[in-house]
Amino acid sequence: MTSIARRYGVGLTGAILALSAFWVVVMVVAPQLLMIDYSFRPNLPLPQRGGPEDSYTLANYLTLAGNKIHLKIFFKTIWASALVTLLTLAVCYPIAFYLAQVVAKQRAALLVLLLVIPFWINEIMRTFAWWIILAYNGPLNKILLGLGLIEEPVRYLSGNAGVIIGMVYAYILFMVFPLYNAIESLDRHQLEAARDLGAGWPRIHWRVVVPHAKPGIATGCIMTFMLAAGSYAVPALLGSPGSRWFTEIIYNWFFEGGNWNQGAAYALILLLLCLGFIIAMMKLFRVGLEDISR
């Protein structure tokens, strides 16, 4: 803090801190506190609010436990988000390692640019593009039929497959960049030394690269899981009535059912789940907040 004040001056540093504190309080803390307050109150008509019936209760949270359909969708969202995270990690790890340790710097910059350019397009447009690709009579089924790999078109959009594919693509950058930043800092001489000692590439990755990249892996998994669990656009566009996401239930409570109290309770449950996942990843990879924030 002292170094920042010396560099920018006391006045400018104080203004930056004040604006940052205002942003955190007004845009983050206050809405969360309001959501918590809403979640513990019953949904009452406006004239009854503040009356004897407007008291704190756990009824909104117990609704999830008593609704088997919503509870099933909730657990489906958990495992599906975890699956999206694992698939995204499996796809992005080779890409990140290739960009960080194999290809030359100039070519790596070009490849990174090629990765980023498609994401200049709005997420809704990119999701619609996947809807066209995965359609029953879409290009993917036609290519697979032409190659003889399938005998009849596959209905990707009638289950969870289309949603998972769309999410892996939608959040690929949130996994690639943390992995790339972590692996890039690895000294290549360590890889060469392990290779000279007779270790194969699987053992090198498991014993050298992965331990070094633990902060990047943890960061990528946390970001991908939270984005997947909290996604609405992708499951709404690529899903079907049988593959609803928990965020769709929350949306329905707020904007279709008009029950903000119940929607706030469901949203807080999902938030607590994401916080639990963050803690679990930090424990699993033995990293702290300072490692993740690098």
DSSP helix/strand/coil, 245: coil
Q: Is 221 exposed, middle or buried (0-12, 13-18, 19+ CB in 10 A)?
A: buried
pLDDT of residue 81: 94
29 belongs to a structural domain: no
Helix (H), strand (E) at residue 294: none
| Residue 53 forms part of a structural domain | no
- CATH number of the domain that residue 211 is part of: 1.10.3720.10
Is there a contact between 180 and 100 (Cβ–Cβ < 8 Å)?
yes
**Residue whose pair of structure tokens reads 């890039």 in the numeric block:** 184
Q: Is residue 249 part of a domain?
A: yes
Q: Domain of residue 211: give its range.
A: 60-292
Q: What is the tally of structural domains in the chain?
A: 1
| Inter-residue long-range contacts of 161-165, CB under 8 Å, 24+ positions, other chains counted | 161/134, 162/130, 162/131, 162/134, 162/238, 162/239, 162/243, 163/80, 163/234, 163/235, 163/238, 163/239, 163/243, 163/245, 164/80, 164/83, 164/84, 164/87, 165/130, 165/134, 165/238
Query: For residue 11, what pLDDT is reported?
Result: 73
pTM (whole model) above 0.85: yes
Question: How crowded is the C-beta side of 244, counted as CA atoms within 13 Å?
Answer: 15
Please report whether residue 257 resides in a domain: yes
- Report the C-alpha gap between 268 and 78 in whole angstroms: 15
Q: Quick check: is 147 in a domain? A: yes
The per-residue pLDDT string of the chain (294 residues; one tens digit each, 9 = 90 and over) reads 566 666 666 677 788 888 989 998 988 889 889 999 989 998 888 777 777 777 888 999 999 988 899 999 999 999 999 999 999 999 999 999 999 988 888 888 888 898 899 888 888 888 889 999 998 888 988 998 988 888 888 888 877 888 999 999 999 999 999 999 999 988 888 888 888 888 888 888 888 998 989 999 999 999 999 999 999 989 988 887 777 899 999 999 998 888 899 999 999 999 999 899 989 888 888 877 666 666
Cβ-proximal residues to 101 (8 Å cutoff; 6+ apart), any chain: 183, 184, 186, 188, 191
Q: What is the per-residue pLDDT for 7?
A: 67
Residue 248 lies in a domain: yes
Q: What angle do CA 271, 78, 225 make, to 5 degrees?
A: 65
Quick: pLDDT tens for 80-99: 999 999 999 999 999 999 99
In this structure, is residue 51 part of a structural domain? no
